[in-house]
Structures are given as structure tokens and as C-alpha cells.
């Protein structure tokens, strides 16, 4: 909870760049923002991609779902917590829009994300991304 402003700004800019890569379907460049052994887990689907190669394969397989639309990931309420080992625990809200050629916007469900960021040669990389679909209690 005692993140300083310089680090908070760095994390925001990191995500601003990472999301441009994801949203513009720069798949290999997006994967390169993760550590080589990084993973992404969609908790609600019980689905986990480990390592950049698996991520890239999964994203190419999903491409047909994004035909004819532009996806944008909107973040909010970023919480950054530095750990003793120098890694960062980051949590945030995500809203996802899809807009088609006619300009019609539709929304995916909302999500809450838990990331761990680490540095490689001083630059932030995502070590893990745990994606929770916001689901009402029974």
C-alpha cells in the first residue's frame, strides 16, 4: 500500500503499452511483455496458458472471434503492492468493449485481474495474470 508515485506511473504506462499491443492484435509483441515462463489463467474457464509459445498459439486460435470488431480493454482502480523480492502484486478492474464497423459497441462481462510483475534488465514484465470473471454469489 506504500507504492510511490513514480512506480505507480511506471505501472500505468506499462499497461497502456501492453494493452495497445493486445488490442491491436500484435500477438508476438504482446507475448514478449510477459516473462518467458509467464502464464495467463482464465479462472472461470479453468484455462491456463503457460509460457509465451502457448500464449501465442492460444491467441492465434482465438483470432476468428475478433473478426470484424475492434477490442479495447479499459482498466480502473489499480492497486500496486511491492513485495520484498522486488516483484509487484497488481490488481485492477477491466471492462472490455468490442466495436464493429458500424460503430456499435458491445460489452464483455466485467473482470477483476491479479497480476505479478517482475523486472528483466530493469524493464517490467508480467510473470502471471489471473483473470476472474465477476460472478454474482448464488
Binding site for its own copies (CB under 8 A): 1, 3-6, 8-9, 12-13, 15-17, 19-20, 67-70, 72, 74-80, 91-93, 95, 97, 99-101, 103-105, 107-110, 133-136
Nearest distance from C-beta of residue 18 to its own copies, angstroms? 9
Tell me how many degrees the CA angle 75-77-78 measures, rounded to the nearest 5. Answer: 80
Nearest distance from C-beta of residue 106 to its own copies, angstroms? 9
Of the pair 14, 39, the CB lying nearest its own copies is at 14
Distance CA 120, CA 134 (A): 32
Closest CA to 118 of 83, 92, 94: 83
DSSP summary character for residue 110: P
Nearest distance from C-beta of residue 65 to its own copies, angstroms? 12
Of the pair 22, 116, the CB lying nearest its own copies is at 22
Of the pair 87, 97, the CB lying nearest its own copies is at 97
Which residues, 6 or more positions from 87, have their beta carbon under 8 angstroms from its beta carbon? 116, 117, 118, 127
What CA dihedral angle connects 12, 97, 72 and 110, to 10 degrees? 40
Nearest distance from C-beta of residue 29 to its own copies, angstroms? 15
Nearest distance from C-beta of residue 47 to its own copies, angstroms? 16
Please, how many CA atoms are within 13 Å of residue 119, restricted to the half-sphere of its CB? 11
Of the pair 77, 84, the CB lying nearest its own copies is at 77
Q: Which three cell numbers stand for residue 34?
A: 510477459
Of the pair 119, 133, the CB lying nearest its own copies is at 133
Amino acid at each position: 500500500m506504500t507504492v510511490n508515485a513514480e512506480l505507480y506511473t511506471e505501472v500505468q504506462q506499462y499497461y497502456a503499452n501492453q494493452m495497445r499491443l493486445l488490442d491491436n492484435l500484435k500477438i508476438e509483441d504482446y507475448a514478449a511483455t510477459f516473462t518467458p515462463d509467464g502464464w495467463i489463467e482464465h479462472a472461470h474457464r479453468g484455462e491456463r496458458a503457460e509460457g509465451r509459445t502457448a500464449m501465442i498459439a492460444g491467441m492465434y486460435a482465438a483470432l476468428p472471434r475478433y473478426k470484424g470488431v475492434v477490442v479495447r480493454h479499459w482498466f480502473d482502480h489499480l492497486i500496486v503492492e511491492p513485495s520484498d523480492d522486488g516483484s509487484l502484486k497488481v490488481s485492477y478492474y477491466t471492462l472490455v468493449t468490442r466495436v464493429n464497423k458500424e460503430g456499435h459497441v458491445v460489452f464483455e462481462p466485467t473482470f477483476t485481474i491479479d497480476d505479478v510483475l517482475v523486472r528483466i534488465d530493469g524493464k517490467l514484465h508480467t510473470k502471471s495474470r489471473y483473470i476472474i470473471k465477476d460472478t454474482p454469489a448464488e
